[in-house]
Amino acid sequence: MVQPILQFGTSRFLQAHVDLFIAEALAQAPGAGDALGGITVVQTTDRADGAARIAALAQGKGYPVRVRGLAGGQRVDRLQHCLAVREAWHASTHWSALRQAVAQGDVQVIVSNTGDQGYGLSEQDGPALLAAGSPAPQSFPAKLLVLLHGRWQHAPNKTLTLLPCELVERNGDVLRDRVGQLARQWGLPEDLQQWLQGSPSGLVWANSLVDRIVSEAIEPVGAVAEPYAVWVVERQAGLQLPCRHPAIVLTDDLAAHERLKLFLLNAGHTFLAERWLLDQRPAAETVRQAMADAPLRAELEALWCDEILPVFQALGEGPQAEAYLRDVRERFENPFLEHRIADIAQNHAAKKQRRLAPIVALAAQRAPGLVQARLQAALATPN
């Protein structure tokens, strides 16, 4: 039987983030965690590693999550057992059962983390896939459209919240628009297209931001993660969360949380990658090793304190930024995490434009005259 929470994706990130939050809520006294129930995980690809995870999860025995790092100046190293996943299915094998469960209203929340290309479409998908007995579509948006078409036909007023966790700005809006685009291409009824736009009494597309470093997998299923974790969800009417948990934050200003991560954590990583490339630093250098290099650490601190924090202060968000930066320092100094700067430096030129240029642009608006020599130099370098 399908659970009230349906999850697309078997990634180690979800195992140590959303799934672990739900497991912790389920373990609380009744009412304390307000968890909807268990999770049905769906593998959407034919990758062998995903198949191995699904097979392990289907046994219903749970899996380990090792939480290791620094928190409040203290070393953390604990092993937790996650028991939130109650069913594990493959989309191609269990597609008819998935369609029935969503159509009847058994599913209350859909969570996804489908990777960088997860919102891409496939030319192989078309409206013929709406017919009973049809195989699962190729793309994730098409899978969603077929499932939501059934929900619209049979239980349109039963609230269903979609909580995408892909690292896409305003991911709920983007996914909604992609599914709506597909519905128009397939020539589906106008009433369905209107319903797909969302309403508090039926379909809710949530924008969210996830933040946790999950450094490695435990085979065949399980993960190693840092202590820091947050799931920021934009508040809206009709929103149904899978559980109540200290790491789940409801906000009216998602953009403020996105700025913290982009301007401090992501920009810090990108600055270290910039220095790693320009200074031809050791090939295997990690973030933790870079933080232990006094001259480089001083440059990074100057970037944060002289060129980025003043932007937050100009926005009236200085205290929040300073608190977040304290966490970032601990995360960068994690003694258990071997986060190679070479990995961060992949697609470096594009990352600089995405992570550093918005800081400079916002400073020009809100803190004119602020000197941002390090940011400007990095953006001027074509690497």
Q: Which strands, in side-by-side order, build the sheet including 63-71?
A: 74-82, 63-71, 223-225, 214-217
Strand intervals (E) in 214-338: 214-217, 223-225, 230-234, 248-251
Q: Residues 212-237: pLDDT tens digits?
A: 999 999 999 999 999 999 999 999 99
Contact between residue 215 and residue 337 where contact means Cβ atoms under 8 Å apart: yes
Question: What's the rounded mean pLDDT across residues 188-193?
Answer: 97
Query: Could you tell me the residue ranges of all domains in the chain?
Result: 5-252, 256-380
Entry pTM: 0.94
Q: Residues 14-41: pLDDT tens digits?
A: 999 999 999 999 998 776 668 999 999 9
pLDDT score of 186: 98
% of the chain residues with pLDDT over 70: 99
Confidence band, pLDDT 50/70/90 cuts, at residue 48: confident
Q: How many separate helices (H) and strands (E) can be counted in the chain? A: 17, 13
CATH of span 5-252: 3.40.50.720
Q: Residues 297-350: pLDDT tens digits?
A: 999 999 999 999 999 999 999 999 999 999 999 999 999 999 999 999 999 999
Contact between residue 336 and residue 77 where contact means Cβ atoms under 8 Å apart: yes
More confident residue, 355 or 201: 355
Give Rg (Cα) of the chain: 22
What amino acid occupies position 350? A
% of the chain residues with pLDDT over 90: 92
Q: Residues 207-217: pLDDT tens digits?
A: 999 999 999 99
- Which residues have C-beta within 8 Å of that of residue 45, sequence separation ≥ 6? none
Helix (H) or strand (E) holding 14, with range, is: helix 12-16
- Which residues are 208's β-sheet partners? 233
| Greatest Cα pair distance in the chain | 65
Average per-residue pLDDT for the chain: 95
pLDDT score of 381: 94
pLDDT score of 125: 97
The dihedral through the CA atoms of 81, 82, 87, 90 has a sign that is: negative
pLDDT score of 46: 78
> How far, in Å, CA of 158 to CA of 82, rounded?
29
> How far, in Å, CA of 45 to CA of 48, rounded?
9
> How far, in Å, CA of 321 to CA of 334, rounded?
20
For 87, phi and psi rounded to 5 degrees?
Answer: -135, 145
Q: Residues 244-295: pLDDT tens digits?
A: 999 999 999 999 999 999 999 999 999 999 999 999 999 999 999 999 999 9
Helix (H) or strand (E) holding 100, with range, is: helix 91-104
pLDDT score of 32: 64
Q: Is the peptide bond before 220 cis (omega within 30 degrees of 0)?
A: yes
Residue 9 has pLDDT above 70, yes or no: yes
> How far, in Å, CA of 324 to CA of 161, rounded?
29
Length of the chain: 383
> How far, in Å, CA of 130 to CA of 192, rounded?
13
Helix (H, G, I), strand (E, B) or coil at 98: helix
Question: 14, 175, 155, 178: which is closest to 82 by C-alpha?
Answer: 14
CATH of span 256-380: 1.10.1040.10
Helix (H, G, I), strand (E, B) or coil at 229: coil
